[in-house]
Amino acid sequence: MTSRRALSPAERTLRARLAAHTMHARNDPKAITGKARAGFLAKFEREADPDGVLSPEERRRRAEHLRSAHFARLAYASAKARRNSRAGDRGGDGPAGRQR
Q: What is the pLDDT, as a whole number, of residue 100? A: 44
Residues 6+ positions from 17 with CB-CB distance below 8 Å: none
Rg (CA), the chain: 22
pLDDT tens per residue across span 8-22: 999 999 999 999 999
Q: Among the listed ranges 29-38, 46-55, 73-82, which one has the minimum average pLDDT value?
A: 29-38
pLDDT tens per residue across span 64-74: 999 999 999 99
